[in-house]
């Protein structure tokens, strides 16, 4: 039986988690997915905020468990077992949420993953936990690789689409086929044999077909990719510009879905182990976090969508497509590995890469420098403030 003090602590922690979810929805997961599409005039700012909220909620419920477990259980090790206390989780989430919210209203995209990771590690070490160096190596390696991989891939795709010798009616459907193959291999909890296991569409279909699983999975993936390529090729044959816009909107939707699957773990991860001890189902925790993302996307995302779509680079449909394809692939890779990733870092790097494919036109170097400094500063500041903040609260209580 829970006493009144424990219930009050959990209520405050839950509100802190919802505030963090709102901040994420208004910032990284709510603004970044459709920013290139808005920049290419394929969708309005307000409509983008509405759609990304719905898709982000779906991604949070269907794909959020892996990153939530990483944030809640793998960033700090406790010798006696267990995880963050409700007070520690509250301090970390409040500090991270405030920093992200400040970035939103200042017009600079704070890297949410950096901020939450720094805050969780800060309060965890202040509690007496030990650093999880192996996990940090994986996280840092991916954070460092994202700008080079995402920006480089976006640059290559943008150059391909700008090449005069390559027809867009051939290149864009081929890219759609690649995206289709990725979608076919994205894991969903509803398709797995248990709530803890995610299966992809290709794997699910392969298990219902005769033959060895791996070759059949590959064949199904290729077939789905080919189908996507054919559908878009026919769409572009009717109207090339409209076909590109349709593809761009689909890409924005996929990135929005992926953002929900990745970013919800940053909001609910610190609380997930505590709630699971009281038999709260994981799906209920993800739904709560998804609703927070939804609220943030609907109420706060338009400001950041404008900042990303207009301030970083003047994007056309081709460069927007080039930015979103690697963003989607990197996001799903991070979900698969269980690494908290910043969607601002992914999208901004891809936008810059696609912008340099056009000779750097419209890319704001000043904005780039400020953004990188904000990312690095948010990690360090969240760690220090959360560490000292928990010690102060623990001394008072």
Q: Please report, for the chain, the start and end positions of each structural domain, with discontinuous segments joined by +.
A: 4-396
The reported pTM is: 0.86
> Who's near 81: CB < 8 A, 6+ residues apart?
none
pLDDT at 313: 46
Query: 158-172, pLDDT tens digit by residue?
Result: 888 888 788 888 999
Specify burial of residue 329 (Cβ count, 10 A radius: 0-12, 13-18, 19+).
buried
Q: Which of 101, 104, 110 is nearest to 303 (CA)?
A: 104
pLDDT at 314: 58
pLDDT at 152: 93
pLDDT at 2: 56
Of the CA atoms within 13 Å of residue 109, those in its CB half-sphere come to: 35
Q: What gap in Å lies between CA 209 and CA 245, rounded to an integer?
A: 35
Write the CA distances from 94 to 32, 204, 246, 262, 394, integer angstroms: 23, 40, 39, 19, 15
* CB neighbours of residue 380 within 10 Å: 12
Which pair of structure tokens corresponds to residue 108?
């600079």
pLDDT at 100: 76
pLDDT at 173: 94
pLDDT at 234: 95
pLDDT at 384: 95
Low-confidence ranges of the chain (pLDDT < 70): 1-3, 5-6, 27-32, 36, 39-40, 81-82, 104, 106-110, 194-196, 277, 303-304, 306-315, 358-367
Check the CA dihedral 179-143-56-188 and report its sign: positive
């Amino acid at each position: 039986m829970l006493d009144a003090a424990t219930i009050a602590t959990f209520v405050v922690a839950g509100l802190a988690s919802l505030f963090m979810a709102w901040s994420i929805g208004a910032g990284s997961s709510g603004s970044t997915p459709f920013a290139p599409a808005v920049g290419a005039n394929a969708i309005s700012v307000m409509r983008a905020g509405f759609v990304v909220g719905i898709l982000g909620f779906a991604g949070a419920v269907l794909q959020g468990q892996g990153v939530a477990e990483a944030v809640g259980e793998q960033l700090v090790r406790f010798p006696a077992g267990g995880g963050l206390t409700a007070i520690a989780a509250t301090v970390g989430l409040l500090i991270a949420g405030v920093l992200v919210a400040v970035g939103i209203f200042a017009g600079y995209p704070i890297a949410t993953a950096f901020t939450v990771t720094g805050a969780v590690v800060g309060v965890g070490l202040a509690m007496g936990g030990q650093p999880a160096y192996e996990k940090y190596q994986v996280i840092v390696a991916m954070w460092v690789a994202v700008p080079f991989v995402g920006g480089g891939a976006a640059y290559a795709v943008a150059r391909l689409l700008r090449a005069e010798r390559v027809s867009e009616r051939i290149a864009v459907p081929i890219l759609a086929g690649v995206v289709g193959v990725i979608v076919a291999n994205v894991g969903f909890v509803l398709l797995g044999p248990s709530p803890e296991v995610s299966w992809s569409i290709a794997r699910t279909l392969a298990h219902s077909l005769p033959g060895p699983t791996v070759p059949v999975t590959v064949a199904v993936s290729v077939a789905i990719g080919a189908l996507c390529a054919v559908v878009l090729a026919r769409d572009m044959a009717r109207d090339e510009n409209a076909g590109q816009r349709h593809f761009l909107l689909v890409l924005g939707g996929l990135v929005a879905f992926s953002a929900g699957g990745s970013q919800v773990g940053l909001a609910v991860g610190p609380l997930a182990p505590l709630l699971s001890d009281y038999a709260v189902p994981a799906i209920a925790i993800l739904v709560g976090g998804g609703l927070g993302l939804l609220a943030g996307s609907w109420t706060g995302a338009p400001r950041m969508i404008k900042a990303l779509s207009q301030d970083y680079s003047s994007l056309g449909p081709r460069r927007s497509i080039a930015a979103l394809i690697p963003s989607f692939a990197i996001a799903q890779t991070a979900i698969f590995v269980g690494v908290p990733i910043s969607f601002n870092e992914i999208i901004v790097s891809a936008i810059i890469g696609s912008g340099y494919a056009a000779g750097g036109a419209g890319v704001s170097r000043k904005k780039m420098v400020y953004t990188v400094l904000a990312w690095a500063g948010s990690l360090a500041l969240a760690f220090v403030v959360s560490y000292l903040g928990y010690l102060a609260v623990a001394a008072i209580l």
